């Protein structure tokens, strides 16, 4: 269990459109207080209508007291952010994208005397991008990083690639958590005293959906095999918050505990 005696980090799964934003607006503060959270990380690459993020939403999330943001394959989906990427100093994009891409893949944060390194990686299996090898990228990075706590968001499609990277980074990072599939896995664990792991932390969005998107559109696309524009559920009856939390020993920086959140809420406001 997380306690006031540990340094507690909350990592929120992909925020999918308005349903994800709305449920966090109402519930995040209570979760922060319930689990004595010291630092909040959120994946925002699906926060604007299910694809990308916007300048307006980025600042709304800061107003919600989120400390740092990760992303993935949709990070550049909104053209409006391309020319402003330098101002998004709390956001990381996949570090194994080409160096010419806007943004940074590693950022440092200071909180309560702790130096936190946040890294975003993207996988290569079944992904449309052609990134550099995530394993070799991490080997190079970890020789340069100096931090008390190292957090890795691995945005990837397959559990095998995620688990392989988890074992590869054992004892070299504090937490590696998967995003992108939007379905929370039940394999969270400590790989060692220094490293915690989970294949996917899930999402924040509409519960009665296909990974946060309108189920009817998804079903039709699979049946008819025709192009269709996915969109988040407009007015879901229920929303879900998926996340992972770790408690870090403030003296040794070892992982004391890892826990998940998978909470479904009735949207009586709708």
Write out the catalytic residue numbers.
74
Neighbours of 238 (CB within 10 A): 16
Give the containing element (helix H, strand E) for 22.
helix 17-34
Structure token digits, residue 242: 């998926």
Structure token digits, residue 202: 């899930």
The half-sphere exposure of 219 on its side-chain side, counting CA atoms within 13 A, is 4
- b/e per residue 192-203 (b: at least 16 CB within 10 A): eebbbbbbbbbb
**Ramachandran class of 52: left when φ > 0, alpha when ψ lies in -120 to 50, beta otherwise:** left
Residue 19: C-alpha distances to residues 16, 149, 207, 209 (Å): 7, 31, 9, 11
């Amino acid at each position: 269990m997380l306690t006031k005696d540990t340094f507690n980090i909350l990592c929120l799964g992909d925020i999918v459109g308005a349903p994800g934003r709305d449920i966090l607006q109402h519930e995040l503060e209570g979760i922060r207080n319930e689990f004595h959270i010291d630092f909040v990380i959120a994946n925002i690459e699906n926060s604007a209508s299910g694809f990308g993020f916007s300048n307006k939403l980025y600042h709304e999330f800061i107003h919600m007291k989120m400390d740092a943001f990760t992303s993935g394959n949709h990070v550049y989906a909104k053209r409006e952010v391309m020319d402003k990427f330098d101002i998004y100093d709390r956001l990381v994009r996949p570090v194994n994208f080409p160096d010419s891409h806007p943004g940074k893949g590693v950022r440092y944060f200071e909180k309560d005397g702790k130096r936190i390194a946040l890294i975003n990686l993207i996988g290569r299996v079944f992904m449309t991008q052609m990134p550099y090898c995530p394993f070799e990228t991490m080997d190079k990075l970890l020789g340069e990083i100096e931090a008390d706590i190292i957090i890795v968001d691995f945005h990837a499609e397959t559990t095998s690639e995620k688990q392989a990277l988890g074992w590869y980074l054992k004892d070299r990072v504090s937490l590696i958590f998967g995003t992108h599939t939007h379905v929370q896995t039940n394999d969270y664990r400590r790989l060692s005293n220094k490293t915690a792991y989970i294949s996917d932390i899930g999402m924040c969005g509409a519960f009665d959906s296909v990974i946060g998107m309108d189920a009817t559109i998804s079903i039709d696309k699979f049946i008819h095999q025709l192009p269709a524009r996915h969109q988040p559920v407009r007015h879901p009856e229920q929303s879900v918050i998926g996340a992972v939390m770790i408690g870090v020993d403030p003296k040794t920086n070892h992982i004391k505990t890892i826990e998940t959140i998978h909470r479904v809420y009735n949207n009586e406001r709708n």
